Structures are given as structure tokens and as C-alpha cells.
Amino acid sequence: MKKWGWATFAAILCMVTVLTACGPKQGSGSNSSPNGGEQPVGILHGEVIRKTENNWLITAYIEKNGNKHIEAISYTVNEQTVLQTSAGKAQTADQIGVGSLVEAQSTSPILESYPSQTVASKIIVLEEDGNIPEGMIKRAAVVQAALEAPSPEGNMARAVKSAALDSASGRWSVELVDYPDMDKPFVVQVDARTGKMMEPAPAKP
């Protein structure tokens, strides 16, 4: 009986191991939710870098634990894509320009390329800072102007690291990062009243 017991135990243990290996794995990159539905994935806080009729490149600069990365996803925008503001107001594609700060969601498979590719299920325009002095250009238009700065050869993606307004000097400073030159961020100065790129401000003595 003792030998039969050990043999039975070994067989059961083997079956459990096989069943566990065949079960679903967590953290595998799937966008399925535990309830069987689709869990949206995408860029939570990024900028529209480039637009064609139905293809939008959206990127986000990410720095965590000393590691730098540009998350870049090329979204197909079609008739099923929901376009809205963070307050829920419907938007048209023409109302969301290059430079807009957005959240982009997808419930479709993501093609693992760089940039990644998928179909957008929803794009939400995020609210900008409302403390922009009257007569000065808002962030989206400034970022759009800054993105016109020349890109180095071999550039695969560009992201906005920061954008700050100095209302006293009437200048926006937009810090951009190109991939793969992640360690070479550069600042573009934009006139806060005309939206045109400016020469860098002189260094303070």
C-alpha cells in the first residue's frame, strides 16, 4: 500500500503541474480583463506628434528608476474611434491637432514594432493649464510649433519631455527628446504671442 500511495501521489502531482502550465499567464501582455471583456491599453498621457488622414502617431516620454524611454504608438483612427474631451464633449478629428495632449486607448491587438501599431478605440483630449495669460498661445499650439524643429538622421520617434511658459519674458520652453538619442534632449524656444520659434534666451550673468 505504501508503494501504491507514493505512485498515486506522483501521478497527481504530475497532472497538477501540466494543468498549471496550460493555464492563463498573468502579465503576458494580453489586454483581456478577468471578466472576459477587453481592457483598454495605450498611452495615458502623451502628445499627438504626427497626423495623416487616419493615422496618428502619439508618444510619451517616460523616465523611471533612471531608465529613459519613448513610448510610441501609431494609431489608426476610424469611424468607430470615440473622440472626446476629458469632460466628455465630442470632438472631430480636425479639432484635435498635432501637439494636443491626449490619452489614447485601444482594445485591439498591438503590433509589436517601433512605433507600435494598433487601432484607437478612444482618444481623450486632456485639459491644459488654464492659467495662460490673455494674449498668449496655449500649450498645444506651442508644442506643434516646436515639433517643426529639425530631426537628426535616423530619428525614429520624438516626444515632449516638458513644456513651460515664462510669462514675464513671453517665452515657452519646450524640451524635446528624439529616439534613439535619448541622452541628448534639446530645448526649443517659442514666442508665446506669435507662436514662432525663437533663438535661445541669453544666459543670465
Q: Locate 15 and state its grid cell.
A: 497532472
Average pLDDT, the chain: 83
**pTM for this one?**
0.79
Q: Give the tens place of pLDDT for each residue, 12-65.
A: 444 434 333 333 322 223 344 333 456 678 999 999 999 998 999 999 999 999
Distance, CA of 59 to CA of 62 (rounded, Å): 10
Out of 8-12, 24-28, 157-161, which region has the weakest mean confidence (pLDDT)? 24-28
Distance, CA of 117 to CA of 74 (rounded, Å): 5
Share of residues in the chain with pLDDT > 90 (%)? 68
At position 127, the amino acid (one-letter code) is: E
End-to-end CA distance of the chain: 92
| Rg, the chain, Cα only | 24
Distance of CA 175 to the CA centre of its chain: 16
